[in-house]
Amino acid sequence: MAEIYGANNVILSDISEAHGHVHDPNQTFERLDVTDIKSYRDVMEKHNINYIVHLSGILSAAGEKNPFLAMKVNGEGVINALEMAKNYKAK
């Protein structure tokens, strides 16, 4: 996406720190837990985000080991993404 929209217009986020990701060091990274609605709001406002690409989730193998965490991240995470899109008029 950064190649299409420019590195300054794409904000990468993950619950893990940025050093584990391969990306342009000039691209903005925000540590974000999608279940933390206050932090989600802060990131939305800080960067004036108008598009959300929600890819967060816990896949089956890890989810089977911790189903309550999987339900929280997968369910609450998508609800929070939709809520942010609605509240901030993002797509």
Look up residue 50 and give its two tokens: 């108008």
Beta bridge partners of 29: 12
Domain interval for residue 6? 2-87
pLDDT digits (tens, 9 = 90+) for 14-60: 888 755 556 667 788 899 999 999 999 999 999 999 999 999 999 99
**Angle 77-87/37-47 helices, nearest 10 degrees?**
40
Domains of the chain: total: 1
Q: What is the CATH number of the domain that holds 29?
A: 3.40.50.720
Bigger pLDDT: 64 vs 21: 64
Predicted confidence band of residue 4 (pLDDT cuts 50, 70, 90): confident
> What is d(CA 85, CA 87) in angstroms, rounded to the nearest whole number?
6
Does the structure show a pLDDT above 80 at 88? yes
